[in-house]
Amino acid sequence: MDSLPPASTTALLRAALADRIVGVLLGSALGDTIGLYTEFLSAAAALESYPSRSFTLVPPGPTPPKFDLHRASKPPAHWTDDTDHALLLLLAFLHTADTESETPPALPTQTVLAERLRVWVQQGLRPLETMPLGLGRLVGSVVATKGFEETPEAIAREHWEKTGKKAAPNGSLMRTHPLGLMCLWREEKEAFTLAADISRVTHVDPRCVAACVVGTALVRALVRGDVVGEETLDGVVQRGREWVVAQGEELDAEELDRHLQCSSLAELKLDESTSVGYVYKCLGSGILLLRLAMRKMAGSGGSLLVRSRLFEELVTDLVMCGGDADTNACFAGALLGAHLGYGALPDHWNHGLRHEEWLLSKAESLCQVLGLKEGRYVGQEDKDTRPDGGKPHISQAEMEGRWMVLQAEVAKQIEEHAKANATKIKGKGSSWTASLPWKDRTKR
């Protein structure tokens, strides 16, 4: 296993690889952030809410979101739990890194992620002091089960079996992209194994495992430059699915192909109410956008102008389909960022993103750890990488106080919105508080 790039890697190639790595991390966060605008809306409602089909995060923006309970609690221009969970993995990897050591950073284990998920569920993303908004039913149930931190896969499997082995939500795929970066200089099969293990911390369904294996391998291959067109893309997908089957997992090949080989986003029916959040929809939409980007770049002869517009155009097309838009765009944004690079991300999204500089600093640290940028980095000295973010423990009472403050802020927004629109908001008592976003357990 190599932990650093080959000695023959040129400075120009290192810079290109670093640009793609930053593209993955920022691209996924941007997709997540823009996707929140239409999350859980139908395509028709998305178009009615945003008829211009355009979004901005910089002044005079950010674009005002559709007002509803789901969006009212979330700060504008901020990513959601999807990116939070991906960052748990990235920070765990960086925590063990030391650029002056010959020992490579440790890949995150199941118990490491389980510990960090438990902290997130209870206290949010500690380095940034953000709330744990968006917790899904599956993750919430599994993480809350006694023994999760010690044997997470066993707990997740028990939950899957008890619930009929039917659910295959996208909550593990949304966090998988940093794994492809960690495995940049490792063998492809090692990336497969890591992706499967990390998926099974919460999601053991074979469809979830397969999606994570394929997604992780694609991010790795795209950044390395191993995927240069659809033929090589299909090669990575095929090797990933064959590896999953070889591990004894059962996959419906016809169903998987139907999602991987679709020719339009409409075919995926992303806003179909009975299957919002289905992992194959997320996987299929991300791969389709990657194919479309490759085709448009090839058709333009590599035009820099086309390249500079592709990310925004494709992500906007995706989020306007509604459904689980933030997760779909988070995964697709990682793939597009890996293919197009950070330089192709729209400035009016990048520079309005909350915590942009913080995320860029972590991306730079990762590039240093992977030997693509000069500089010393020691994870033990970076408090952000600790499970508690280097912050004092938040008691349950204090956390409940924070929820009450947030609830009051949402209630105030509802009142102001009602006055501004001269409409009456029904059920401002216990009936509406029971349906507030942090009580939602319908996804992931």
Q: What are the tens digits of pLDDT across the range 377-396?
A: 999 999 999 999 999 999 99
| Mean pLDDT within 15-20 | 97
Backbone angles phi and psi of 228, in degrees to 5 = -120, 0
The predicted-structure confidence for 184-236, as pLDDT tens digits, reads as follows: 999 999 999 999 999 999 999 999 999 999 999 999 999 999 999 999 999 99
How confident is the model at residue 191, as a pLDDT? 98
| Mean pLDDT within 415-429 | 64
- Banded model confidence at residue 2, pLDDT cuts 50, 70, 90: low
How confident is the model at residue 426, as a pLDDT? 47
The predicted-structure confidence for 120-136, as pLDDT tens digits, reads as follows: 999 999 999 999 999 88
Residues belonging to the binding site are 80-82, 324, 326-327
* Amino acid letter, residue 361: S
The predicted-structure confidence for 335-373, as pLDDT tens digits, reads as follows: 999 999 999 999 999 999 999 999 999 999 999 999 999
How confident is the model at residue 444, as a pLDDT? 67
> Across all residues in the chain, what is the average pLDDT?
93
- Banded model confidence at residue 437, pLDDT cuts 50, 70, 90: very low
| Mean pLDDT within 255-277 | 96
The predicted-structure confidence for 134-162, as pLDDT tens digits, reads as follows: 988 899 999 999 999 999 999 999 999 99
Residues belonging to the binding site for Mg(2+) are 80-82, 324, 326-327
> In 3D, which of 131, 155, 32, 25 has the Cα closest to residue 73?
131
Query: Is the per-residue pLDDT at 6 higher than 90?
Result: no
The predicted-structure confidence for 283-327, as pLDDT tens digits, reads as follows: 999 999 999 999 999 999 989 999 999 999 999 999 999 999 999
| Mean pLDDT within 397-420 | 91
As a three-state string, the secondary structure of the chain is CCCCCCCCCCHHHHHHHHHHHHHHHHHHHHHHHHHCCCCCCCHHHHHHHCCCCCCCCCCCCCCCCCCCHHHHCCCCCCCCHHHHHHHHHHHHHHHCCECCCCCCCCCCCHHHHHHHHHHHHHHCEHHHCECCCCCCHHHHHHHCCCCCCCCHHHHHHHHHHHCCCCCCECCCHHHCHHHHHHCCCCCHHHHHHHHHHHHCCCCCCHHHHHHHHHHHHHHHHHHHCCCCCHHHHHHHHHHHHHHHHHCCCCCCHHHHHHHHCCCCHHHHCCCCCCCCCEHHHHHHHHHHHHHHHHHHHHHCCCCHHHHHHHHHHHHHHHHCCCCCHHHHHHHHHHHHHHHHCHHHCCHHHHCCCCCHHHHHHHHHHHHHHCCCCCCCCEHHHCHHHCCCCCCCCCCHHHHHHHHHHHHHHHHHHHHHHHHHCCCCCCCCCHHHHCCCHHHCCCCC
| Mean pLDDT within 233-246 | 98
**Are 410 and 75 contacting, i.e. CB atoms less than 8 angstroms apart?**
no
The predicted-structure confidence for 50-99, as pLDDT tens digits, reads as follows: 999 999 999 998 999 999 989 999 988 999 999 999 999 999 999 999 99
What is the CATH code of the structural domain delimited by 11-388?
A: 1.10.4080.10
Q: How far apart are CA 336 and CA 291, in angstroms?
A: 10
Which residues 6+ apart lie within 8 Å of 430 measured at CB? none
**Are 404 and 63 contacting, i.e. CB atoms less than 8 angstroms apart?**
no
Query: Is the per-residue pLDDT at 434 higher than 60?
Result: no
**Are 264 and 155 contacting, i.e. CB atoms less than 8 angstroms apart?**
no
Q: How far apart are CA 426 and CA 419, in angstroms?
A: 13
* Amino acid letter, residue 18: A
